């Protein structure tokens, strides 16, 4: 099977802040995976009043868009880049910094998506529920393996076991998936689709998994703060958490709002032709050629 752009997504037990163990970085932006549970309604409620307050699509509209994307079975690298929304994503948790990251996001009223590694749930079994409350959670496999190196049965077990555990931990179905290192193939795409999950990659890499320090991480993210961007970060890195001090206040300065991936895709849906173009369907992919994850 053809490997599409291996990316570097460091597993919870993978690269440390020093970047050792960074995996191959393809030239294309790729993804990291994790299933995002059906996101909690934007703004904390789905009533007309709460929708008006949040200005975001209803939970039903989000589910409908995820259903459309699942049916297409194509990986998503960015949204339609027509609005003023972006998606911040945090991979490889839960970990020691998760609580701190959530506090910072809440303080700035920023929503995000968390791609959870199943075996790391022991570090914070209640975290997925807290994460879903401020956005969405997704499946990032159980052991963070390089999926193209596994048998079909092993890939299924990695995805399905995590989907079930994260669903239980978050209290909602998990409908988003991100492959570790962004390493995917057509066969892996089909497995994600069969489990009812949309494969979410990214078009902006913070490069935190490559060892960038907090200033570098913040700079890489700020460069990518354009409508429709899906931004890759990791919640198990101290430098990333420190970078949030710069990144979160920068959102307003760049006239964008950070929302969960289901909210982003429903509000600014990628076209089918854009999806078929893969990473090249996202204008900012070139800004971050060494995709991390
Ligand atoms: Zn990862």
Can you give the length of the chain in residues?
293
Residues 186-197, mean pLDDT to the nearest whole number:
98
Distances (CA, A) of 231 to 98, 161, 287: 17, 26, 12
Q: Is 234 a catalytic residue?
A: yes
pLDDT at position 15 is 38
Question: What percent of the chain stands above pLDDT 90?
Answer: 76
What confidence tens digit (pLDDT) does each residue in 244-256 have?
999 999 999 999 9
Whole-model pTM: value is 0.83
Catalytic, out of 17, 91, 189, 268? 91
Query: What's the whole-number average pLDDT of the chain?
Result: 84
13-16 contacts at long range (C-beta below 8 A, 24 or more positions apart): 13/144, 14/92, 14/144, 14/209, 15/209, 15/210, 15/211, 16/237
Residue corresponding to tokens 């048998």: 151
Q: Report the pLDDT averaged over residues 145-170.
A: 98
Residue 55: its pLDDT value, please?
85
- Flag whether pLDDT at 4 surpasses 70: no
Mean pLDDT within 77-91: 95
The mean-pLDDT minimum among 108-112, 153-157, 283-287 falls in 283-287
| No. of helices (H) and no. of strands (E), the chain | 10, 8
Q: How far apart are CA 139 and CA 131, in angstroms?
A: 13
Distance 111 CA to ligand 1 centre (A): 20
Segments in the chain forming alpha helices (H): 48-54, 59-72, 98-107, 127-133, 152-170, 186-194, 214-223, 238-253, 261-267, 272-276
Q: Which residues surround ligand 1, an ion (CB under 5 A)?
A: 9, 32, 91-92, 180
Distance 226 CA to ligand 1 centre (A): 23
In the chain, the largest separation of any two C-alpha atoms, in whole Å, equals: 49
Across the range 76-85, mean pLDDT stands at 94
| pLDDT of 39 higher than 80 | no
Ligand 1 centroid – CA 54 distance (Å): 30
- CB 280 within 8 Å of CB 84: no
Q: Per-residue pLDDT for 168 more than 70?
A: yes
Fold of 48-281: TIM Barrel (3.20.20)
As a whole number of angstroms, the distance between CA 2 and CA 22 comes to 21
Count CB neighbours of 106 within 10 A: 13
Stretch among 27-36, 136-145, 179-188, 258-267 having the lowest mean pLDDT: 27-36
Q: Tell me the mean pLDDT in the region 257-283.
A: 96
Model confidence at 53, pLDDT cuts 50, 70, 90, reads very low
Instruction: Supply the pLDDT for residue 77.
Output: 97
Is the predicted pLDDT of residue 101 greater than 60, yes or no?
yes
pLDDT of residue 62: 97
What is the model's pLDDT at position 200? 98
Q: How far apart are CA 161 and CA 118, in angstroms?
A: 8
Residue 283 has a pLDDT of: 80
**% of the chain with per-residue pLDDT over 70:** 78
Q: Please say if the pLDDT value at position 26 is more than 80.
A: no
CA distance 148 to 212: 27
- pLDDT of res. 12: 36
91 is catalytic: yes
Looking at residue 285, its pLDDT comes to: 57
Q: If you measure from the C-alpha of residue 42 to the centroid of ligand 1, how many angstroms do you get, rounded to a whole number?
A: 25
Mean pLDDT in residue range 41-70: 72
Cα–Cα distance measured from residue 113 to residue 95, given in angstroms and rounded to the nearest whole number: 15
Q: Are strands 204-205 and 257-259 parallel, antiparallel or unpaired?
A: unpaired
């Amino acid at each position: 099977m053809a490997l599409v752009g291996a990316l570097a997504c460091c597993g919870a037990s993978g690269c440390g802040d020093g970047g050792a163990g960074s995996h191959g970085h393809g030239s294309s932006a790729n993804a990291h995976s994790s299933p995002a549970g059906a996101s909690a309604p934007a703004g904390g409620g789905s009533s007309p009043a709460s929708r008006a307050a949040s200005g975001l699509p209803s939970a039903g509209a989000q589910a409908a868009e995820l259903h459309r994307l699942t049916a297409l079975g194509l990986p998503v690298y960015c949204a339609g880049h027509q609005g003023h929304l972006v998606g911040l994503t945090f991979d490889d948790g839960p970990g020691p910094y998760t609580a701190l990251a959530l506090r910072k996001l809440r303080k700035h009223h920023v929503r995000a998506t968390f791609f959870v590694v199943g075996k790391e749930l022991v570090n914070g079994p209640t975290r997925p529920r807290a994460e879903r409350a401020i956005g969405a959670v997704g499946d990032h496999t159980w052991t963070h393996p390089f999926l193209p190196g596994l048998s079909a049965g092993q890939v299924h077990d990695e995805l399905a076991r995590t989907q079930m555990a994260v669903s239980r931990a978050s209290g909602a179905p998990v409908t988003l998936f991100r492959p570790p290192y962004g390493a995917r193939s057509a066969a892996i795409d089909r497995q994600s689709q069969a489990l009812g999950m949309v494969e979410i990659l990214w078009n902006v890499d913070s490069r935190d998994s490559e060892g960038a320090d907090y200033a570098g991480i913040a700079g890489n993210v700020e460069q990518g703060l354009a409508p429709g961007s899906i931004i890759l970060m990791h919640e198990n890195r101290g430098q990333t958490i420190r970078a949030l001090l710069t990144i979160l206040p920068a959102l307003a300065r760049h006239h964008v709002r950070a929302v969960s991936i289901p909210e982003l895709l429903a509000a600014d849906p990628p076209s089918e032709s854009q999806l078929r173009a893969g990473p090249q369907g996202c204008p900012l992919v070139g800004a971050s050629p060494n995709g991390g994850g």
